[in-house]
């Protein structure tokens, strides 16, 4: 790195996405690098590798300026504080304000596909508010609207294979699933770029697939037939509740299916390739690489 390299900061560095971003930055020799987390002890290994590790409490805006001090480009990974409605909105507003106060020049934010006010997804309003906060902050920003992670399929599809049926409320809607790895690579590219303006990018895989297509693919990979069963959102929710899932989680799951059914998650872009210079992984590539999860017990 050169003396003129901007100081980079990654929040939520102990989470899956944040940690992977940090690893990719270190592999590429990017920095100087600051990372923040609620529990610095979890990142002692990074501190030992020369990374500046700081505690950041997004509920306490007075602590964030010190946590962000010195950063020029900042990756704001959306927090996981979903326990209280509106809490995450306040946390993100605190983070953006702290970034403005300390003189951060560019914020990269991990948002959600098409989070506009008419989105049925229960989590969308947090992301939309954060995007609006960035838009009026005076800061440069890159919003990365990540589609649904392919990794989620490693939980749902093996269950479908075991039961012989994939039950969703997505109708004929398709989803442009993207891997967490591709989201991490896109975030690294945006964070380390020289772009200083304001942009919103939809981060997707190379194609969109329906649940019926996924059922067929799961059947092919497992060697067992998987039937696609379409239900309405209310029936899906009642079924999930019957299986013991808490109501707020059920509501969130069902809301994603409704968004897919409405066609909100099907848009495919070239953003990953544009940012990173490498095409994103396809559904078939990803699931084939994890074929072992379909093995019958």
Element spanning 36, H or E: strand 33-37
110, part of any domain: yes
Q: Residue 193 has what DSSP assignment?
A: S
CATH number (domain holding residue 37): 3.40.50.720
Question: Which domain, by its residues, includes 186?
Answer: 8-146+179-204+267-280
Q: Is residue 256 part of a domain?
A: no
Contacts for 194-199 with beta carbons within 8 Å, 24 or more apart? 195/106, 195/140, 195/142, 196/105, 196/106, 196/140, 197/140, 198/134, 198/135, 198/140, 198/141, 199/141, 199/142, 199/143
Q: What is the pLDDT of residue 2?
A: 45
Q: Which residues share a beta bridge with 168?
A: 230
Q: Is residue 235 part of a domain?
A: no
Whether 99 is covered by a domain: the verdict is: yes
Comparing CA positions, the residue from 146, 184, 261, 156 lying closest to residue 10 is 184
Number of separate domains in the chain = 1
Domain-located, residue 12: yes
Strand 174-175 relative to strand 209-210: parallel, antiparallel, unpaired? antiparallel
Residue 292 lies inside a defined structural domain of this protein:
no
Q: How far apart are the first and last CA of the chain?
A: 50
What's 204's DSSP letter? -
pLDDT of residue 24: 98
23 in a structural domain: yes
Q: Is residue 159 part of a domain?
A: no
Hey, how many other C-beta atoms are within 10 angstroms of the C-beta on 274? 11
Residue 143 · residue 134 · CB < 8 Å: yes
What averages of pLDDT result for each successive group of 10 residues across the chain (297 residues)?
A: 78 94 96 93 93 93 92 94 79 96 97 97 95 98 98 94 94 97 98 97 98 96 94 85 77 91 98 98 96 77
pLDDT for 83: 67
Give 191's DSSP letter: H
Model confidence, pTM: 0.94
């Amino acid at each position: 790195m050169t003396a003129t390299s901007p100081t980079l900061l990654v929040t939520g560095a102990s989470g899956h996405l944040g940690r992977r971003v940090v690893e990719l930055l270190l592999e590429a020799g990017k920095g100087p690098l600051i990372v923040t987390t609620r529990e610095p002890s979890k990142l002692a290994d990074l501190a030992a590798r020369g990374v500046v590790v700081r505690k950041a409490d997004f509920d306490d805006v007075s602590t964030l300026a010190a946590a962000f001090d010195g950063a020029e480009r900042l990756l704001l990974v959306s927090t996981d504080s979903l326990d209280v409605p509106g809490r995450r909105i306040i946390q993100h507003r605190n983070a953006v304000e702290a970034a403005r106060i300390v003189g951060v020049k560019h914020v990269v934010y991990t948002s959600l596909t098409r989070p506009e006010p008419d989105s049925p997804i229960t989590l969308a309003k947090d992301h939309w508010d954060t995007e609006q906060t960035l838009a009026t902050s005076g800061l440069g920003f890159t919003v990365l609207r990540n589609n649904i992670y392919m990794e989620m399929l490693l939980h749902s599809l093996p269950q479908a294979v075991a039961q012989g049926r994939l039950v969703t409320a997505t109708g004929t809607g398709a989803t442009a699933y993207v891997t967490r790895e591709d989201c991490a690579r896109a975030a690294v590219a945006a964070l380390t770029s020289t772009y200083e303006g304001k942009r919103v990018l939809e981060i997707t895989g190379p194609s969109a697939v329906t649940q019926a297509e996924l059922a067929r693919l799961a059947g092919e990979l497992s060697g067992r037939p998987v039937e696609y069963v379409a239900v309405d959102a209310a029936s899906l929710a009642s079924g999930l509740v019957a299986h013991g899932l808490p109501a707020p989680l059920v509501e969130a799951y069902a809301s994603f299916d409704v968004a897919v059914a409405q066609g909100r998650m099907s848009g495919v872009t070239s953003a990953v390739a544009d940012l990173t210079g490498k095409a994103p992984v396809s559904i078939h590539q990803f699931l084939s690489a994890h074929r072992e999860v379909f093995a019958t017990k």
